[in-house]
Amino acid sequence: MRIAFYAPLKSPTHGTPSGDRRVAGLLLDALRLAGLRVELASTFRSFDAEGDAERQLALRRQGEALGVALADGWRARPEAERPQLWFTYHLYYKAPDWLGPVVCAELGIPYVVAEASHAAKRAHGPWALGHDATMAAIRQAALVVSPSRDDIAGLGEVVEPRRILYLPPFLDVEPYADARARRGELRARLAREQALDAEVPWLVVAAMMRVGDKLSSYRGLAAALAYQLDAPWQLLIAGDGPARAQVQDALERAGIAARARLLGSMPTRRLAEVFAACDLCAWPAVNEAYGMALLEAQAAGVPVVSCATRGVPDVVLDGRTGVLVPYGDEAALAAAVRRLMDDPARRRALGDEAARFVAGERSIAAAAEALKRALAAL
């Protein structure tokens, strides 16, 4: 099967690292692993951050015209080179899909969307145009792939349950399993490089530093860790971005800057090595859709402390691979972190189970098989 793939929020070839780009790339890899021929249809970005009606109208005109041009171009090719299905990843009211519905109507092929959400409260606000387009696209979709159970109830108000496929977040586990097998070596090397005490617990987070939910999460984490100044621990942060100064300020205000090491952005294999060298991942997950970094930490054998919000319980299994606390409760987050810092045997047990869980239930191979079955049925 030949598939045209598109991500209106951020293309998998976009220059700025993010969880969204990461998931788009993983979906592409899973589709190819399933034996499907995938072509990136376009890098056109429909995102409007400000709720600017004039900009949204211009994006719609550009997108729809591009959709017609794409369809015309494919019609000019031999039939064996035309897509048989269109697959859009992550459309929502700020980044609707103006291309896919047009191409599918022009070529008469099935339309599939992944990580689409129904936000009824946006129907009459500054993104009403994007909301309406997203709702129309979801209704047109032959299949809606949802990575979070939290979104399924809302989607069920728009499409029949039979058109919804629950496909939880997944990973290529090989880099993480390889790093986990070298934990001792990696920990010793990182201790030397960053002047860390290898005998105390290392906490780890991986997140972009940008204003909004990410910065709020960093501030929440700093506030939670401020409860634990009497305990020995160190914090490793993988990530960078325009809010780096604000993150550093939050660490300083909480009195934990001296215990933190800001490692910057890094490629997947290096990040896997950092995770594997650490003891515990802690993250407040402010408005987090599900948190790919939480899954990555577990793949490397690191248990997670986070909040039971949105799709996080689809990624972190409370009591099995980590600990989830009530959303926004910094004191509860701090207490859960402290309990695991004080209990290395429990940490190891949760970490071992976390690695088994990701390898057995959230691997890219399992996702590829599920996608292959679902798309073949179309």
What is the Cα–Cα distance from 315 to 148, expressed in whole angstroms?
9
Task: Return the percentage of the chain with pLDDT > 90, whole number.
Answer: 92
Helix residue spans in 342-376 (DSSP H):
344-361, 364-376
Domains of the chain in start order, with CATH, are 2-170+363-376 (3.40.50.2000), 174-361 (3.40.50.2000)
* pLDDT for res 38: 97
The residue written with tokens 């031999």 in the block is 78
The residue written with tokens 């689409």 in the block is 116
Confidence of residue 119 (pLDDT cuts 50, 70, 90): confident
The residue written with tokens 């594997």 in the block is 276
* pLDDT for res 243: 98
Token code pair at residue 241: 């971005």
Poorest-confidence range of 10-24, 44-58, 78-92, 99-113?
A: 10-24
What integer is the mean pLDDT of 258-264?
A: 97
Instruction: Answer for the pair 191, 197: CB distance below 8 angstroms, yes or no.
Output: yes
Confidence of residue 153 (pLDDT cuts 50, 70, 90): confident
What integer is the mean pLDDT of 331-346?
A: 97
Name the nearest CA neighbour of 116 among 21, 212, 9: 9
Rounded to 5 degrees, φ, ψ at 274 are -65, -45
Total-model pTM: 0.92
Instruction: Answer for the pair 79, 45: CB distance below 8 angstroms, yes or no.
Output: no
Token code pair at residue 34: 């399933």
* pLDDT for res 214: 97
Q: Walk across the sheet containing 322-325 and list its strands.
A: 260-264, 234-238, 202-206, 280-282, 304-307, 322-325
* pLDDT for res 17: 79
* pLDDT for res 121: 76
